[in-house]
Chain A
Amino acid sequence: MSGLPGGFTRERGLHLLREMLRIREFEDRCAELYGAGHIRGFLHLCDGEEAIAVGVMQVLGPDDALVSTYREHGHALARGIAMGPLLAELYGKRAGCSGGRGGSMHVFDAATRFYGGNAIVGGGLPLAVGLGLAEKLRGTRNVSACFFGEGAVAEGEFHESMNLAALWRLPVLFICENNLYAMGTALARSESQTDIRSKAAAYDVRAAAVDGMDVLAVEQAARDAVEHARAGRGPVLLEMRTYRLRAHSMFDAQLYRDKAEVEEWRKRGPLTTLTARLKSAGLLTEDDFQALLREADAEVAAAVEFATAADWEPVADLARHVYAEAVTA
């Protein structure tokens, strides 16, 4: 993965790096804000998995639909949800992208067709099947994509959804972020067949395993998959091989893995490797990198200001949004 494809431009490289840096800087700040008590509940960071969010989003169009999990800040930012409303959501403020009701695990945004961080493992997959069904029945060329961890592959919903999507030839991208651990459970302790990609064969679903630490590999695999789905040829399973460099959530003491293993993977972190590749190809200087970092940090600082200044929802509105307020057509 060391070389860059022919025709690869500096502009493209800076763009991909910027997108991943925004995610990393945002989440590192979130960890601090969690420590300071501004963010509460569960907070799941995607350190190490940024390339998947960024690579996939490069090929999805604005009308495609997305479903994510509780580990969705990267997906949300890469999809184009503004950082201010995203952070305000993590604070529980009214200006949050979900009105403050959901918090970190439940990011929603109608404008970008982001149908939520779903915190029930596997819960988002049937939803993506339904969104794909809607596109097919409405006769569009849009696709739906869902992200989930390899832990979700053990749930019945994964298998039921794969079968249904294949049976009905729906334009659904199943994007498995295989980070090797489901909380403290290593893949080999939870799957009899650890080759996630191979599960697709049972449902006659097209599948590929991808180096999820390489944003260019992710982008290419996603492009092929989206083309396949848009052409009406049915769903695709992409197994993105990656690693969670931080704890499962802020409550996790990580008793189940060695520090050395984490450090080994950290060397392969998608930001580290892309930075090195761009530098060695002469497309990026240290000054460029520092400038990108400053840019990302400025965006994060503005988001913190936005979230801090935002109001709390009045208690009088507690029971709002249990039912729809507007009649939909």
Chain B
Amino acid sequence: MTAPARITYREATKQGIREALLADPRVFLMGEDVGKYGGCFAVSKGLLDEFGEERIRDTPLSESAFVGAGIGAALGGLRPVVEVMTVNFSLLALDQIVNTAATLCHMSGGQFPVPVVIRMATGAGRQLAAQHSHSLEAWYASVPGLRVVEPATIDDARGMLRAALASPDPVIVFEPISLYNMEGDLTAAAENVQLEGARVHRAGSSVTLVTYGASLWRCVAAAEVLARDGIDAEIVDLRSLRPLDDATVLDSVRKTRRVVIVDEGWRTCSLAAEIGQRIVEQGFYDLDAPIARVCTEEVPIPYPKHLEDAALPGPERIVSTVRRLLGHAD
């Protein structure tokens, strides 16, 4: 067996796009600055030279039009991968995504499924302030007709696009901005990435941390701190935000009997709220303690680093929440 390659999340994402373009002539990438500029986060750098302007398609600043065009092209038999720079700007295309992509299959009695993939960056951590830093995954995850995923690992970043393109439905792929520079091992598991299903990222017995996206690594950091006190945290990476994999979460809760949900979205009406409720509905009697949540503070993300850090669900807040839940003094 060859040693795993060490690559960045950005590179893994690019490899996924490249592979999709090579594998299927119906696939093309379109979005703002994906071509000449090389992608606003440099994900598609070099792809224009390799695949040409027909398949690496720069668009004007017209989110509603080009996302809608992606939906139309999917109806027309292609397999578009539409890139919206960040979830914040995707709000200009929300109508096309929610009113069209998510509804056509149903409204047409199943005649018109929409196999479009829409990628967008998400999240905070780079001091980009309140119009560039939000995590609005929960909004999309609340919409029937969409599938929503968020790769948090190198393997998922590499393999999720293939799984998304294999789906006949619209898939929203969230890429955490703060992970693009993260390095990690690309393993053989990248060859067999599934679109659905949560994954136990770290096995443990004392408490379950349920999370997704960039917060996976906040949980990993917290688990290392907790381990020094003999607290053995299990971490569940949701991976798919719609549909949610209740079974994996509940299996873990049955084992640890305590759960903290860590979510970069705002607490109110968050994915954390949804997951917590599902645990209550299906696993209430397995719990030894109330469910706790560590979410982003209910404030538009502020620019200065100390305030941005304080707003986000950082490792310190996770650690102290777990300690409190387990009855340890802080």
* A joins B in a complex: yes
Near A by CB (< 8 A), chain B positions 287-307 give 297-300, 302-307
Residue B61 is within 8 A (CB to CB) of chain A in the complex = yes
| With contact pairs A103-B303, A191-B60 given, residues A183 and B131 touching in the complex (Cβ less than 8 Å) | no
Residue B62 is within 8 A (CB to CB) of chain A in the complex = yes
Residue B18 is within 8 A (CB to CB) of chain A in the complex = no
A156→B61 CA distance, assembly (Å): 9
Near A by CB (< 8 A), chain B positions 124-155 give 126-132
Whether the Cβ atoms of B304 and A318 lie closer than 8 Å is no
Which among A93, A185, A319 is the interface contact of B37 at CB below 8 angstroms? A185
Residue B114 is within 8 A (CB to CB) of chain A in the complex = no
Please give the distance in Å from B132's CB to the nearest CB on chain A. 6
Whether the Cβ atoms of A92 and B88 lie closer than 8 Å is no
Whether the Cβ atoms of B58 and A185 lie closer than 8 Å is yes
**For A154, what are the chain B residues with a Cβ–Cβ distance below 8 Å?**
60-62
| With contact pairs A151-B61, A190-B61, A322-B299 given, residues A118 and B310 touching in the complex (Cβ less than 8 Å) | no
In the complex, identify which listed stretch (A119-127, A168-176, A238-246) lies at the interface while the others stay far away: A119-127
**For B130, what are the chain A residues with a Cβ–Cβ distance below 8 Å?**
101-102, 106
Please give the distance in Å from B313's CB to the nearest CB on chain A. 13
Please give the distance in Å from B218's CB to the nearest CB on chain A. 18
Near A by CB (< 8 A), chain B positions 36-76 give 36-38, 40, 58-65
Please give the distance in Å from A254's CB to the nearest CB on chain B. 9
**For A256, what are the chain B residues with a Cβ–Cβ distance below 8 Å?**
36-37
Whether the Cβ atoms of B303 and A183 lie closer than 8 Å is no
Whether the Cβ atoms of B302 and A318 lie closer than 8 Å is yes
Whether the Cβ atoms of A313 and B62 lie closer than 8 Å is no
Residue B234 is within 8 A (CB to CB) of chain A in the complex = no
**For A105, what are the chain B residues with a Cβ–Cβ distance below 8 Å?**
128-129, 131-132
Contact with B along A20-44 (1 / 0, CB 8 A): 0000000000000000000011100
Please give the distance in Å from B125's CB to the nearest CB on chain A. 11
Whether the Cβ atoms of A106 and B38 lie closer than 8 Å is no
- Max count, chain B CB within 10 A of own CB: residue among A106, A121, A191: A121
Near B by CB (< 8 A), chain A positions 158-200 give 182-186, 189-191
Whether the Cβ atoms of B127 and A103 lie closer than 8 Å is yes
A312→B305 CA distance, assembly (Å): 10
Whether the Cβ atoms of B129 and A103 lie closer than 8 Å is yes
A204→B132 CA distance, assembly (Å): 35
A183→B58 CA distance, assembly (Å): 11
Whether the Cβ atoms of B60 and A41 lie closer than 8 Å is no
| With contact pairs A103-B303, A189-B36 given, residues A41 and B126 touching in the complex (Cβ less than 8 Å) | yes
A123→B305 CA distance, assembly (Å): 25
**For A92, what are the chain B residues with a Cβ–Cβ distance below 8 Å?**
127, 302-305, 307
Residue A45 is within 8 A (CB to CB) of chain B in the complex = no
Whether the Cβ atoms of A41 and B303 lie closer than 8 Å is yes
Of chain A, the residue at the smallest CB distance from B39 is A184
Contact with A along B62-101 (1 / 0, CB 8 A): 1111000000000000000000000011001000000000
A106→B129 CA distance, assembly (Å): 8
Contact with B along A82-108 (1 / 0, CB 8 A): 000000000011000000111101100
A75→B230 CA distance, assembly (Å): 57
| With contact pairs A92-B305, A151-B60 given, residues A318 and B33 touching in the complex (Cβ less than 8 Å) | no
Please give the distance in Å from B269's CB to the nearest CB on chain A. 16
Contact with A along B13-40 (1 / 0, CB 8 A): 0000000000000000000110011101
Residue A315 is within 8 A (CB to CB) of chain B in the complex = yes
Classify the secondary structure of B's interface with A: loop
A312→B58 CA distance, assembly (Å): 41
Whether the Cβ atoms of A184 and B37 lie closer than 8 Å is yes
Please give the distance in Å from B65's CB to the nearest CB on chain A. 8
**For B222, what are the chain A residues with a Cβ–Cβ distance below 8 Å?**
none
Residue A255 is within 8 A (CB to CB) of chain B in the complex = yes
Please give the distance in Å from A2's CB to the nearest CB on chain B. 35
Residue A288 is within 8 A (CB to CB) of chain B in the complex = no
A100→B306 CA distance, assembly (Å): 11
Whether the Cβ atoms of B36 and A255 lie closer than 8 Å is yes
**For B307, what are the chain A residues with a Cβ–Cβ distance below 8 Å?**
92, 100-101, 313, 315, 318
**For B306, what are the chain A residues with a Cβ–Cβ distance below 8 Å?**
312, 315
**For B310, what are the chain A residues with a Cβ–Cβ distance below 8 Å?**
315, 318
**For B40, what are the chain A residues with a Cβ–Cβ distance below 8 Å?**
183
Residue A152 is within 8 A (CB to CB) of chain B in the complex = yes
Whether the Cβ atoms of A319 and B297 lie closer than 8 Å is yes
Near B by CB (< 8 A), chain A positions 118-158 give 118-123, 151-152, 154-156
Of chain A, the residue at the smallest CB distance from B133 is A41
Whether the Cβ atoms of B38 and A322 lie closer than 8 Å is no
Which among B92, B127, B302 is the interface contact of A155 at CB below 8 angstroms? B92
A315→B92 CA distance, assembly (Å): 32
Whether the Cβ atoms of A119 and B60 lie closer than 8 Å is no
**For A253, what are the chain B residues with a Cβ–Cβ distance below 8 Å?**
38
Whether the Cβ atoms of A156 and B89 lie closer than 8 Å is no
**For A119, what are the chain B residues with a Cβ–Cβ distance below 8 Å?**
129, 131-132
**For A182, what are the chain B residues with a Cβ–Cβ distance below 8 Å?**
32, 60-61
**For A121, what are the chain B residues with a Cβ–Cβ distance below 8 Å?**
61, 89
Whether the Cβ atoms of A319 and B128 lie closer than 8 Å is no
Of chain B, the residue at the smallest CB distance from A94 is B304
Please give the distance in Å from A120's CB to the nearest CB on chain B. 6
A119→B128 CA distance, assembly (Å): 10
A189→B302 CA distance, assembly (Å): 35
Please give the distance in Å from B317's CB to the nearest CB on chain A. 12
User: 6 A-B pairs, CB-CB below 8 angstroms?
Assistant: A41-B127, A101-B130, A102-B130, A190-B59, A315-B310, A319-B299
Q: Could you list which residues of chain A lie within 8 angstroms of chain B, going by C-beta atoms?
A: 40-42, 92-93, 100-103, 105-106, 118-123, 151-152, 154-156, 182-186, 189-191, 252-253, 255-256, 312-313, 315, 318-319, 322
